[in-house]
Structure 1
Amino acid sequence: MIERPRRLRSSAAMRRLVRETRLAPSQLVLPMFVAEGASEPRPITSMPGVVQHSRESAKKAYAEAVELGLGGVMLFGVPESKDAQGSGACDPAGILNVAIADARAEVGDDLLVMSDLCLDEFTDHGHCGVLDDQGRVDNDATLQIYGQMAVAQAAAGAHVVAPSGMMDGQVAVIRAALDEVGHLDTVVLAYAAKYASAFYGPFREAVDSSLQGDRRTYQQDPANRREALRETLLDVEQGADIVMVKPAMSYLDVLADVRAAVDLPVAAYQVSGEYAMIEAAAAQGWIDRDRAIDESLVSIRRAGADIVLTYWAAEVARRLTR
């Protein structure tokens, strides 16, 4: 017998030597929720171990992220009040813009400060855009607000803005708005292929979502694979610097397609439901928690993600740096 592949699996040292896909802290981005008016962290019941941060507790997490060598943090704001226009999103004193400024003051350029660019956390109807007089999401009216929101986030200090609303033409409008006021170096991380997924459930608790109805008229149909490439290539044409697939684990085929189609860095978001499932199964003793976490992240990297957004970013980075 000439071919004996098992030789290369014979010991832990050998397996490490020939491992094809590796994880590093710099590839991981930690999503964080910062709640307006919070005096201490608030646990999110559907995501054990994840919290809505106060501004002070968030500052400690930013500093820790630097120490761990994470690639960045992705910030989401949880406002105390909302309205139909999501006006808190563009307000320099709004919780997300304040959190961005806090993060930059804490870490400077030692950590990438990324910000979610979407209206869903700020609208009283919970949609990612403003509504027309028939209650439908108005794509083009929403784009004008996205442009203003991008400028506000960049002015607050965001290194990276991440439009996640899946509005047609959003990247072009955001890039033009940033460039017009001189934010030429602000990176646009486009949620290029974002699906209308059932795996976002716990996230709704995390941001105190007010969603009425669903988002199927603008987020992608989970049955569609080719459409993701169309969306991604449009974002590339419009000036995206990084493209992202969301969710990650149920869409590894899409992630691999995107990786093969573009030369830009590719990100994937391991979403709240993916996190919650592993935590719940581990709590029942049904799976090995740490191995399942690591395997899930490796699968996302193996499918082609250069960057992984995961709520386990800090924990995994601690293990990787031991």
Structure 2
Amino acid sequence: MAFPQQRLRRTRRTPGLRALVRETGLSPEGFVYPIFVAAGEDVRRPVDSMPGVYQLSINNAVGEAKRVRALGVPAVLLFGIPDHKDETASGAYDPEGIVQLAVRAIKDAVPELIVITDVCLCEYTSHGHCGVVEGETGEVMNDVTLELLARTAASHAEAGADIVAPSDMMDGRIAAIRSELDREGFENTPIMAYSAKYASAFYGPFREAAESAPRFGDRRSYQMDPANAREALREVRLDIEENADIVMVKPALPYLDIIHRVRQETDLPLAAYNVSGEYAMIKAAARQGWLDERSVVLEALTSIRRAGADIIISYFAPQVAEWLAE
């Protein structure tokens, strides 16, 4: 019908009407909160570029896990900061490594909390790359790295991790990890694959938090070119063929189109990582009074859900859970 009989503003007039017809919503149950676990005792070291985010020793990480679970956030994603690094990332797959110890402590204290572990080598290698580096060429060796990633994932599952999340972007790593998990008796441990992980400039604050910046070169030979979209769908298809249980797009806000296209591609649960640079930008603008933090965060995260993500990994998760509870 022609105007004025058709008036779309009719259902926008009041908060109640707007809520009644709202198409997309946020809920704490859809969030995952990243935690940086550091070696040491009673560590609570602020990350300068990420206000409100800290490197936490295991005892403080347990306290943080309890806090976020009480707010209704169902899951955390653990990143380890070891006290020793070497060329073969031995701390990543050490049964007594920082993540393995943290998983046990958190699962003992908050057994109902879902504990996801980041499976990568960059926090544990002396050179900061996500795999084994070949001599003077500096090339990250794919197939040798797969063995270490598989050992790491199995050690996390042995410690009690509910989900393992490989973020390295090596070819074939989902199949290698699935095979190792099954061989070690962890056939029921799901894999959340960082399927479309871009070589993004938005990771800078994370690399400060995780102390994982590469000592030389960059990660463009294994992370995806930001210009490519069809390649992301190929990566997702390969991870699904290799039996990933959840697929992920990272970062989120600059790649909403990719989230949407992946959503059309698969019915698997889809995660999106609202990364450190996205968090830092909003925090910085809010501190300057240029943006209203609460309104912008809720709008940004709603856009990620609207694009098709089922799960949002975000440093804002506890704040948003508090806002939603109000």
| TM-score, length of structure 2 as denominator length | 0.97
Q: Deviations over 1:28-55 (max 9, x none)?
A: 0000001011423100000001000111
Matches within 5 A, 1:179-198: 179-198=182-201
The answer (yes or no) to whether the contact 2:73–2:321 under 8 Å persists in 1 is yes
Aligned: 1:56 with 2:59: yes
Aligned: 1:235 with 2:252: no
Q: In 2, distance between residues paired with 1:279 and 1:39?
A: 26
Partner residue of 1:137 out of 136, 140, 148: 140
The answer (yes or no) to whether the contact 1:124–1:210 under 8 Å persists in 2 is no
- DSSP-derived class of the 1:193 partner: strand
Partner residue of 2:116 out of 101, 114, 117: 114
Which residue in the other structure is 2:276 paired with?
A: 272
Q: CA deviation at 1:209?
A: 2.0
- DSSP-derived class of the 1:171 partner: helix
Matches within 5 A, 1:155-174: 155-174=158-177
Q: In 2, distance between residues paired with 1:13 and 1:273?
A: 35
Q: Deviations over 1:164-191 (max 9, x none)?
A: 0000000000000000111011010000
Which residue in the other structure is 1:2 paired with?
A: 5
Letter in 2 for 1:186: T
Letter in 1 for 2:121: L
The number of residues matched between the two structures is: 321
- In structure 1, list runs of 5 or more residues that go unmatched: none
Partner residue of 1:260 out of 237, 261, 264: 264
The 1:275/1:38 distance shift into structure 2, 3 A limit, reads: farther
Which residue in the other structure is 1:12 paired with?
A: 15
Letter in 2 for 1:191: Y
Q: Deviations over 1:116-166 (max 9, x none)?
A: 000000001000101113220000000000110011000011000000000
The answer (yes or no) to whether the contact 1:25–1:69 under 8 Å persists in 2 is yes
Q: In 1, distance between residues paired with 2:187 and 2:94?
A: 21
Letter in 2 for 1:129: G
The answer (yes or no) to whether the contact 1:200–1:273 under 8 Å persists in 2 is yes
Letter in 1 for 2:324: L
- DSSP-derived class of the 2:171 partner: coil
Which residue in the other structure is 2:314 paired with?
A: 310
Which residue in the other structure is 1:203 paired with?
A: 206
Letter in 1 for 2:132: V
Q: In 1, distance between residues paired with 2:83 and 2:42?
A: 13
Q: In 1, distance between residues paired with 2:80 and 2:241?
A: 29
Partner residue of 1:126 out of 128, 135, 138: 128
Q: Deviations over 1:44-85 (max 9, x none)?
A: 000001000111111111112221221300000011110000
Partner residue of 1:94 out of 75, 80, 97: 97
Q: In 1, distance between residues paired with 2:70 and 2:280?
A: 26
Q: CA deviation at 1:4?
A: 0.5
Which residue in the other structure is 2:77 paired with?
A: 74
The answer (yes or no) to whether the contact 1:123–1:210 under 8 Å persists in 2 is no
Partner residue of 1:27 out of 26, 30, 46: 30
88-97 or 205-214, which deviates more: 205-214
- DSSP-derived class of the 2:168 partner: coil
Q: CA deviation at 1:210?
A: 4.4
Aligned: 1:299 with 2:298: no
Which residue in the other structure is 1:285 paired with?
A: 289
Which residue in the other structure is 2:250 paired with?
A: 246
Provide runs of 4+ in structure 1 moved above 4 Å.
none
The answer (yes or no) to whether the contact 1:243–1:266 under 8 Å persists in 2 is yes
Q: In 2, distance between residues paired with 1:103 and 1:169?
A: 30
Q: CA deviation at 1:100?
A: 1.1
- In structure 2, list runs of 5 or more residues that go unmatched: none
- DSSP-derived class of the 2:144 partner: helix
- DSSP-derived class of the 2:134 partner: coil
| TM-score, length of structure 1 as denominator length | 0.98
CA RMSD of aligned residues (A): 0.8
- DSSP-derived class of the 2:199 partner: coil
- DSSP-derived class of the 2:96 partner: coil
Q: Deviations over 1:253-276 (max 9, x none)?
A: 000000010010000000000000
Aligned: 1:225 with 2:225: no
The answer (yes or no) to whether the contact 1:98–1:156 under 8 Å persists in 2 is yes
Percent identity, aligned pairs only?
54
